[in-house]
Amino acid sequence: MTQLHDTKQRDISEEAIRFALFSAHEHDVRFIRLWFTDILGTLKGFAITIDELEGVLRSGASFDGASIEGIAREGEADMVAMPDPSTWQILPWRPRENAVARLFCDIKTASGEPAETDNREVLRRALRRAGEMGLTYYVAPEIEYYHLRSSDDPRPHDSGGYFDQSSDSAGADLRRQTVLALEEMGIPVKHSHHEVSDGQHEIDLRHTNALTMADSIVTFKVVVKEIAAQSGGYATFMPRPFAKSNGSGMHTHMSLFDGDTNVFYDPDAPQSLSVKARQFMAGLIRHSPEITAITNQWVNSYKRLVPGVEAPVYANYTSGNIADLVRVPSYRVGKEDSLRIEYRAPDSACNPYLAFAAILTAGLEGIEQEYKLPELITSDPSIMSEAERRKHGVVDLPATLDSALKIASESKLLRKALGTAVMDSFIRNKRIEWAEYSRTVTDYEISRYLKLL
């Protein structure tokens, strides 16, 4: 006759559904946005009313997937968006009356199978692979972006510099509001600061499992843009919006844990880097050219991956350079759990689901195949001569989307990471983008050639 609730006896997903229903009622929620992403990581979705909520939580909502980039395969237009009830969240920037909530969705086929093309499913497959090796993959991104005056007047919103803390800075105020909204959305922020360039900011998220983090990054972008819009401004995650300023990267810290144990940490090894840590780094470095199309997916991404703007250019193990591809951040003695690897190629405009899946698969390949970490290069390869670089075996990261796609399309590793449906659809989409770009006559060409030639 005990009325005490016990988790063991109650299905957690049923609890999550009831939690969402109670919360909806309590907060007067009228509309619920069902969120998912297309193959490029762009947020998509549609709204349902409160009357539909319980039914949709239990059996999903049908939609026509044909018009969403990379979602539906041929003859598969009818898709089902199946909400993940544990992602229930009221949108804090919407009015409190008639509130609006969001739910992340898995994409299923009409027959209820996970869609091969669902970003979350792609990442889950990679995480399952880690899980089979007894490993959990944690990530913590540092996301950079620009606040602009408006989309019509895309000049930087402020003129602060790196770590500026001036109290009258409009940028600091926006950043504070953004961090508060993120916290309200259940996204823990570790650290935030003004970045190097005018109007450029960085917010670092606290590590969590990669799937939750990918959802969080999608939410993050919405929050940043909403908060900017509220003050009449605009925020952009474009990889390199200004030729004269740094690009916006998404340096990603990562670690692998076996239960409570950080498998990257070995107190007896040099730098405390375990054999697995070295193999994982080796996998990342060796396969980095193949996954660059995913971590840097836009024509514009390659305007960031150039020498001189603190972005990586070479696929090697270098140290002490601001442009290192892979870095082992220092950690405090006694905080061995925070020993981690930082991968610095991704930009803020990547699709985080596919990027994490590709990065993890590259690292795991290193562990499975027992790769050897290349010899550490202590001098800066960008000031070496071509011959010296060759001597040190320095490999270039792809310098354009076109060359990234060429390498990616032949990569068995990437195909394994993404699955054939996503791989083919992604390459097709990006080839079109490159073709369009190739036909474009740029300002650079006009200013350089028009009068000269």
CA distance 422 to 184: 33
Q: CB–CB of 182/193 below 8 Å?
A: no
- Quickly tell me which residue has 């950690």 as its tokens: 331
Site residues for another protein, 10-39, by CB under 8 A, read 12-13, 15-16, 18-20, 22-23, 26
Instruction: Assess 124 for contact with another protein (CB under 8 A).
Output: yes
Number of residues that bind another protein (CB under 8 A): 42
Site residues for another protein, 342-361, by CB under 8 A, read none
CA distance 341 to 155: 34
Residue 19: Cβ within 10 Å count: 14
CA distance 57 to 16: 10
Please pick, from the candidates 95, 112, 131, 393, the single residue that binds another protein as defined by CB under 8 A. 131
In angstroms, what is the minimal distance from the CB of 263 to another protein? 12
Q: Which stretch binds another protein (CB under 8 A): 36-44, 56-64, 181-189, 319-327?
A: 181-189
CB-based burial label for 137 (10 Å; 0-12, 13-18, 19+): buried
Q: Between residues 22 and 46, which has the closer beta carbon with respect to another protein?
A: 22
The count of C-alpha atoms lying within 13 angstroms of the C-alpha of 402, restricted to the half-sphere facing its C-beta, is: 5
Instruction: Assess 9 for contact with another protein (CB under 8 A).
Output: no
In angstroms, what is the minimal distance from the CB of 12 to another protein? 6
Q: CB–CB of 366/284 below 8 Å?
A: yes
Q: Which stretch binds another protein (CB under 8 A): 82-90, 161-169, 313-321, 361-369?
A: 82-90
DSSP character for 277? Answer: H
Please pick, from the candidates 206, 391, 428, 448, the single residue that binds another protein as defined by CB under 8 A. 206
Tokens describing residue 409: 């399309």
Q: Which stretch binds another protein (CB under 8 A): 36-44, 105-113, 255-263, 426-434?
A: 255-263
Virtual torsion, Cα 177, 182, 186, 190, nearest 10 deg: -100
Q: H helices of 325-371, where?
A: 352-368
Q: Which stretch binds another protein (CB under 8 A): 2-10, 144-152, 158-166, 268-276?
A: 2-10
Q: Between residues 26 and 375, which has the closer beta carbon with respect to another protein?
A: 26
C-alpha dist (Å) from residue 131 to 10, 137, 201, 422? 25, 9, 35, 22
Instruction: Assess 267 for contact with another protein (CB under 8 A).
Output: no
Please pick, from the candidates 184, 204, 226, 380, the single residue that binds another protein as defined by CB under 8 A. 184
In angstroms, what is the minimal distance from the CB of 139 to another protein? 11
Q: Which residues bind another protein (CB under 8 A)?
A: 1-5, 7-8, 12-13, 15-16, 18-20, 22-23, 26, 85-86, 88-89, 124, 127-128, 131, 136-138, 184, 186, 188, 206-212, 257, 259-260, 337
